[in-house]
Structure 1
Amino acid sequence: MTATGRPKREPARHVVARVDEIAEGKSKLVHVEGRDIAIFNVKGEFLAIANRCPHEGADLCKGNVVPLIESDDPGVVKLSRHGELVRCPWHGWEFDLRTGKSWCDPARTRVKSFDVAVEQGKRLVEGPYQTEVYKISVDEEYVVLEL
């Protein structure tokens, strides 16, 4: 139940791609329930954010996937979190693919992030309802987005 006493809505599940459709370090734009969502493959883990940069609306799925660059001293640079940030293709703003937070202004600027899971195709055909059964075979893994 929610705070208003209404039953809590289960997230809708949407198959958006096969795992092999999004190469490591790459992204895919999907349209789900009227939203443009960028799905990224970060070392085999799939992360999803709203595709629109809050600065001026650029497509984030067209941005470069980059590491976090940190420096404790002048001239000393440390790279970490390889492939976990996307850089806006228009003005270079960087967003954390896990949280959607901006590295330019993390307290105020962010993009919406979404939960993503990889599931066996066989699991996707299971459900609480029954109807006539037809034999099918599924041998691919699919990327599933929950809204």
Structure 2
Amino acid sequence: MTNKHFACKVEDVPTDAAKIVTVSNMPIGVFKLNDGFHALLNICPHKGAALCEGPVCGTTKETDSTEFVYDRAGEIVRCAWHGWEFDIRSGEFLVDPKVKTRRFDVSVEGSDIYVHM
């Protein structure tokens, strides 16, 4: 069973960065993507950096050639300490999906965003 906790207002979440909040003494980044709101623990599993304070970006797509193709713009958060990239929706590290940061379900009621724990 999960409990929902108020995180912030919809208008407080930028489209190009996370809104950092504290919920139940945990630092959480709330993100706005084209499919809604998502929340990740603001701790990088690599070395404990403030993951969600890194840039929201895309990444290079795997191709069969030597060209670089930028993909998934606005769907990735990159840790500012060592550049590890995580999928905002799933919390998975792009290089090894077995490595994850904790993600939380999110709901919106009116203009209030709730994180479920």
TM over 0.5: yes
CA contact 1:23–1:41 (8 Å) conserved in 2: yes
Matched, 1:143 2:113: yes
Q: Kindly, what percent of the aligned residue pairs are identical?
A: 36
Matched, 1:113 2:103: yes
Consecutive unaligned residues of structure 2, counting only runs of 5 or more, are: none
CA shift at 1:58, angstroms? Answer: 0.7
CA contact 2:40–2:52 (8 Å) conserved in 1: no
| Map 1:1-147 → 2, pairs under 5 A | 9=1, 11-43=2-34, 45-107=36-98, 109-120=99-110, 141-147=111-117
| Higher RCO (CA < 8 A, seq sep 6+) | 2
Amino acid at match of 2:115: L
Amino acid at match of 2:107: A
CA shift at 1:32, angstroms? Answer: 1.3
Which of the two has higher C-alpha Rg? 1
Q: RMSD across aligned C-alpha pairs, in angstroms? A: 1.5
Give the TM-score normalised by structure 1: 0.73
CA shift at 1:43, angstroms? Answer: 3.3
Consecutive unaligned residues of structure 1, counting only runs of 5 or more, are: 1-8, 121-140
1:125-146 Cα distance to aligned partner (Å, 9 max, x none): xxxxxxxxxxxxxxxx111111
Count of residue correspondences: 117
CA shift at 1:118, angstroms? Answer: 1.7
* Separation (CA, whole Å) in 1 of partners of 2:59 and 2:80: 17
1:126 aligns to what?
none
Displaced runs of 4 or more, over 3 A? none
